[in-house]
Amino acid sequence: MFRLLRPLAASVTYTRWLHLLIPGAGYSVWMFISPESPWAPMVFAVPVGLVPGMRLAEGVQAQLLLAPDERGRADASISASSAATWADRWRTVLWLETRMLLAVPVGYATVWLLATAVDLVLTAVGNGPSDQWLVRGVEPHWWHALLAPLPLLVMLAVVVLSGRLITEAAKRLLGPSPVQRLTALEERTEQLLERNRIARELHDSIGHALTVAVVQAGAARAAHDPDFTERALAAIEETGRDALDDLERVLRVLRESGTPVGQRPTLVEADRLLDSARGSGAKIDADVSGPLERVPGAVSREGYRILQESLTNVLRHSGTVPVRVRIAIADGRLELEVTNPLSDSAADPAAVPGGGSGLRGIRERAALLGGKAETGPHEREWRVHARLPLDGLRAAP
């Protein structure tokens, strides 16, 4: 019983009722003006529905009154946009016809059933014989008032069922087209990819800075050398400033979706990473060959992050050990390799195959560019080897 009455407590039931009564009231006005042409509003709906902006107006109204919970959502089942194709225009025409065909009987039923209930009450108090179908031809009596709720219950049932029917029609006729659904899916995918990219940016940049700071602070405390301590503090300060710059870039992307990706660091700035690692005590042997400034933007930016994460892992897991860095451009691809001796005492990331979000991020960055990255032990060393293709990415921003 309560399940049947539940729709009567929902506000959307009455907003849907209002949505149906609006064209019904307009049709009643037309019938008062020109009762000899009841078909005219149906014909007039065709040119009106072909106007591109009419789909937007109907969609906004349907969202507000038929499905208010979905208003403003990107995945709303009722679209609020102008018609972009002729198919959308004809779907709008069909929607207007459907809305009017359903609104007219609902409007008449509303007026008639309400009038029936009122007439039964008046008849029960002695206001003449009833003309209503429930007690037609029966002398007025007090028990007629007991029948008054029946037309109201029928009216409410009509309201609930017709509201659900018009909502389903709106979802089918005013819902997003396949092209719009695909566009929305692509936009959602881009948003998720951007979130993952920002998460990797924060992990790589801030993680690198904190690792350098921790290593420098620990080395300065153990050295008991004022000169070394001063150099360590200077390195921590410089690394912290670089991290703040990177953080500002990421936050700018969050605040302004139009921020150009070209403002992110590239391999042209690889020296600052190498100097930061050297300042932490690591012995860096770098071999850079090829014009880094001619590497496409997308490849150069991701290569910078791969190098940054590789050096961070060395400092975090192996400490101040000798590190070989090789960056080369040959055969249409960028080769980036970072190797360091394995330490038996270090908590080496190889302990968990494929473990660690940093190593996974390196592989994901390479895969997104159509390349490949290998991470793990290699000839008694820990090696990160990334191969990023250059072809097809020349036009990347």
pLDDT in tens, 296-308: 877 888 888 888 8
* Nearby residues of 126 by Cβ (< 8 Å), 6 or more positions away: 140
CA 7: distance to chain centroid? 31
Kindly state the tokens that stand for 180. Answer: 């719009």
Angle between helices 52-65 and 11-33 (to 10 degrees): 130
Q: Which of 309-313, 335-339, 340-344 has the lowest mean pLDDT?
A: 340-344
Residue 74 near residue 184, CB atoms below 8 Å:
yes
Q: Check residue 162 and give its pLDDT.
A: 92
324 band by pLDDT with thresholds 50, 70 and 90: very high
Q: Please write the tens of the pLDDT for every residue from 14-55.
A: 999 999 988 888 877 877 788 788 888 888 889 988 998 898
pLDDT tens readout for residues 186-244: 566 666 666 776 776 677 767 777 777 777 777 777 777 777 777 777 777 777 777 77
Distance from C-alpha of 355 to C-alpha of 338, rounded to nearest angstrom: 18
Cβ distance 65 to 13 under 8 Å? no
Q: What is the pLDDT of residues 49-80, one digit of tens each?
A: 899 889 889 988 988 899 888 877 766 788 88
Half-sphere exposure of 113 (CA within 13 A, CB side): 17
The contacts found for 292-296 with CB under 8 angstroms, 24 or more apart, are: 292/266, 292/267, 292/268, 292/327, 292/329, 293/268, 294/329, 295/266, 295/267, 295/329, 295/334, 295/390, 296/390, 296/393, 296/394, 296/395, 296/396
**Whole-number Å distance between alpha carbons of 366 and 93:** 50
Q: Percentage of the chain with pLDDT > 70?
A: 78
Question: Is residue 224 exposed (0-12), middle (13-18) or buried (19+ Cβ within 10 Å)?
Answer: exposed
Mean pLDDT of 110-128: 77
Q: What confidence score (pLDDT) does residue 164 get?
A: 92
pLDDT of the residue at 320: 75
Average pLDDT, the chain: 78
More confident residue, 129 or 163: 163
pLDDT > 50? residue 143: yes
